[in-house]
Chain A
Amino acid sequence: MNKFIQHIIRFVFLVLLQVLILNNIQFSGYINPFVYILFILLLPPKLPKALLLVLAFTMGLTMDMFSDSLGVHTAASVLIAYIRPGVLGMITTKGGEELETIGIKQLRFTRFFTYAAILTFIHHFTLFYIEAFRISEFLATFSRAFISSICSLLLILIIESLRSNSLRK
């Protein structure tokens, strides 16, 4: 039950952080970090896959409501939730089944970095390409997605290391 509340608090915190702060910061008009996917990354590995998809859908829909992007965030979030078990299987021996929770502490830095990087890049590229919806803007969209992915990844790693540090104490 305690874990359940923890995930709800994390959901609300990340939504507010994304909507009220990050969506308003306009770095040079090119960079748009999305850290809300940390919620999907940190859901416990033992969670039924169907529930994982539904939770990612809820998160994406909330983001779409606040940023008027209609389905763009939803599509990208559901996609990374769907491939998440596969990515976990690649970086851990038993697909993360033996882990209670996911975090820098549990996976160690290198593995968590790989895990977060793969999902962040896939999420951002899906998102930016669906949003642009045009092949003619291929290169511009590519650079936007790439730079934003790196920014998001940095922020995600910072937030995650702060979180796991505060848990240790």
Chain B
Amino acid sequence: MRNLFTFLFRHHVFFLFLLLELTALAMLIQSHDYHASRFASSSHAWAGNVLENYQNSADYLSLRKVNTLLAEENTALKNLIQQNSEEEQSHLEGNYQYISAKVIKNSYNKRNNYLTINKGALHGLENGMGVCVDKGVVGIVRDVSENYATVMSLLNNNTVISTRFAKSNHFGDLRWDGHSHEYAQLYSIEKYVDVSVGDSLITNSYSSVFPEGLFLGTVNRFERDEQANFYDIEVDLAVDFSNIDYVYIVKNQLRGERQLIESKQGE
């Protein structure tokens, strides 16, 4: 027993090293688990505070740009109201509620990018809600604290968005390969599908995160290997990730009900 202690003490630096590295790796592995809430994240109150204060002072520099964007969006929304009053609204659309939030931190040059926003559990946010801007999809809510939340950007190794062609019902998975923040890759489109450059991609109704029909981007380039069963498609993203100030969080009122019935299928 004494020998064991002497041994441990002699190599205590190495064991401490192992312990700390294992802690770091455990955090990392846990981060691949989508639903686990995480220990160290910028949605923590004090990290969120520092970032928000900084963003507030930086905001003055971009007021002009934000004003223009808001005005454009206003016009688009007004048009939408007009259209809606003319058409009959479908039953499903009423189940989505939108919450607006301000982005206080954003990145797009890492392999795994996250945004931090200034709304949290107090405003009704929950893990797994969709986040979008008027141009298209931004990502999915990840960690939520009382006043802040982090959003797993579309530009992230772990983000997969279920998507389909606007012109047909063929669907695939949109992922990001880590190269350019302007392009993402579309997978699982079988080779018999008719694809052409410029085709629009929208969210489909298979996931309960986003309402159907949110714009994602257009086909920029595609390749079909003779041996492969699937296309390689590069998608020009609708959202400019280097320039996001305000976002909307999509709250699906019937999500719980839908997940409940879908989980019964799995059993």
Is B35 part of the contact surface with A, judged by Cβ < 8 Å? no
Bound complex: CA A65 to CA B50 (Å): 12
Is B179 part of the contact surface with A, judged by Cβ < 8 Å? yes
Known pairs A75-B21, A75-B24; A29 contacts B107 (CB<8 A):
no
Is B162 part of the contact surface with A, judged by Cβ < 8 Å? no
Indicate the size class of the contact surface on chain B.
35 or more
Contact B27 A74, beta carbon cutoff 8 Å: yes
Most chain-A Cβ atoms within 10 A of its Cβ — which of B24, B42, B181? B24
Is B168 part of the contact surface with A, judged by Cβ < 8 Å? no
Bound complex: CA A67 to CA B27 (Å): 14
Q: What 0/1 pattern do residues 18 to 58 of A give for CB contact below 8 A with B?
A: 01100100100111100000000000000001100110010
Bound complex: CA A30 to CA B13 (Å): 36
Known pairs A29-B108, A132-B111; A64 contacts B40 (CB<8 A):
yes
- Interfacial chain B residues near A141, Cβ < 8 Å: 111
CB closest residue in chain B, given A63: B40
Total A-B Cβ pairs within 8 A: 103
Is A82 part of the contact surface with B, judged by Cβ < 8 Å? yes
- Interfacial chain B residues near A130, Cβ < 8 Å: 28
Bound complex: CA A71 to CA B40 (Å): 8
Is A140 part of the contact surface with B, judged by Cβ < 8 Å? yes
Known pairs A49-B13, A133-B157, A137-B177; A67 contacts B110 (CB<8 A):
yes
Write the nearest CB–CB distance from A130 to chain B, whole angstroms: 7
Contact A137 B178, beta carbon cutoff 8 Å: yes
Contact A29 B180, beta carbon cutoff 8 Å: yes
- Interfacial chain B residues near A74, Cβ < 8 Å: 20, 23-24, 27
- Interfacial chain A residues near B224, Cβ < 8 Å: none
Q: What 0/1 pattern do residues 121 to 151 of A give for CB contact below 8 A with B?
A: 0000000101111100100110000000000
CB closest residue in chain B, given A27: B109
- Interfacial chain B residues near A19, Cβ < 8 Å: 50-51
Do most interface residues of chain A lie in helix, strand or loop, or is the interface mixed?
Answer: helix
Is B99 part of the contact surface with A, judged by Cβ < 8 Å? no
Write the nearest CB–CB distance from B139 to chain A, whole angstroms: 12
**CB interface residues, B 203-251, toward A, < 8 Å:** 242
Is A100 part of the contact surface with B, judged by Cβ < 8 Å? no
Known pairs A50-B12, A130-B28, A131-B111; A67 contacts B42 (CB<8 A):
yes
Is A69 part of the contact surface with B, judged by Cβ < 8 Å? yes
**CB interface residues, A 60-114, toward B, < 8 Å:** 60-61, 64-72, 74-75, 78-79, 82
Write the nearest CB–CB distance from B210 to chain A, whole angstroms: 22
CB closest residue in chain B, given A32: B109
Most chain-B Cβ atoms within 10 A of its Cβ — which of A26, A67, A131? A67
Is B150 part of the contact surface with A, judged by Cβ < 8 Å? yes
Is B121 part of the contact surface with A, judged by Cβ < 8 Å? no
- Interfacial chain B residues near A54, Cβ < 8 Å: 16, 20
Contact B40 A65, beta carbon cutoff 8 Å: yes
Contact A68 B111, beta carbon cutoff 8 Å: no
Write the nearest CB–CB distance from B218 to chain A, whole angstroms: 21
- Chain B interface (Cβ within 8 Å of chain A)? 12-13, 16-17, 20-21, 23-28, 30-31, 38, 40-42, 44, 47, 50-51, 54, 107-112, 114, 116, 150, 157, 177-181, 242
- Chain A interface (Cβ within 8 Å of chain B)? 19-20, 23, 26, 29-32, 49-50, 53-54, 57, 60-61, 64-72, 74-75, 78-79, 82, 128, 130-134, 137, 140-141
Beyond A57-B24, A74-B27, 18 extra complex contacts between A and B, CB < 8 Å: A26-B108, A26-B109, A26-B242, A29-B108, A29-B180, A29-B181, A31-B109, A49-B13, A53-B16, A66-B47, A66-B51, A69-B112, A74-B23, A75-B25, A75-B28, A131-B110, A132-B157, A137-B178
